[in-house]
């Protein structure tokens, strides 16, 4: 059910943020760290792109993944570091 099939960790450099309103209900913003080569697989898994079932956030099964943003945070060891490295998974 949308569970990630790749290794991941919650990034506590920016702790999870929770909010809620009567109009929109409960929401959360959680940052994760995954290997860059696994980034698109992770997003597809949590959004339920393959099986149609978005991931239920472990802290609250009432929260389901509805969107994702991918940001590279470093260059793979030995990468060119020329501004183009890290634009596709595995670089």
Q: What is the pLDDT along the chain (91 residues), one digit of tens a residue?
A: 568 999 998 888 778 888 889 998 888 888 888 888 888 899 999 999 888 888 888 888 888 888 888 877 765 555 555 555 555 655 5
Give the pLDDT of residue 77. 59
Spatial contact of 34 and 6, defined as CB atoms under 8 Å apart: yes
Q: Does residue 59 sit within a domain?
A: yes
The answer to whether residue 21 sits within a structural domain is: yes
Is 22 domain-assigned?
Answer: yes
Residue 79 lies in a domain: no
What phi, psi does 86 have (nearest 5°)? 95, 10
The answer as to whether 25 is a domain residue is yes
48 in the Ramachandran plot: left (φ > 0), alpha (ψ -120 to 50) or beta?
left
What pLDDT is recorded for position 17?
86
Give residue 20's domain range.
Answer: 1-71
Residue 57 CB contacts under 8 Å (≥ 6 apart), including other chains: 28, 30, 63, 64, 65
Cα–Cα distance, 54 to 37 (Å, whole number): 21
Residue 39 belongs to some domain of the structure: yes
**55 inside domain:** yes
pLDDT of residue 90: 55
pLDDT given for residue 56 in this prediction: 85
The count of domains in the chain is: 1
* Residue 77, in any domain of the structure: no
């Amino acid at each position: 059910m949308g569970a990630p099939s790749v290794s991941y960790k919650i990034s506590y450099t920016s702790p999870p943020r929770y909010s809620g309103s009567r109009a929109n209900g409960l929401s959360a913003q959680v940052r994760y760290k995954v290997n860059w080569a696994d980034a698109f697989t992770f997003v597809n898994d949590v959004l339920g792109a393959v099986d149609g079932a978005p991931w239920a956030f472990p802290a609250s099964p009432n929260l389901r993944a509805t969107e994702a943003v991918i940001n590279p945070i470093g260059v793979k060891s030995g990468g060119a570091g020329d501004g183009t490295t890290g634009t596709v998974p595995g670089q």
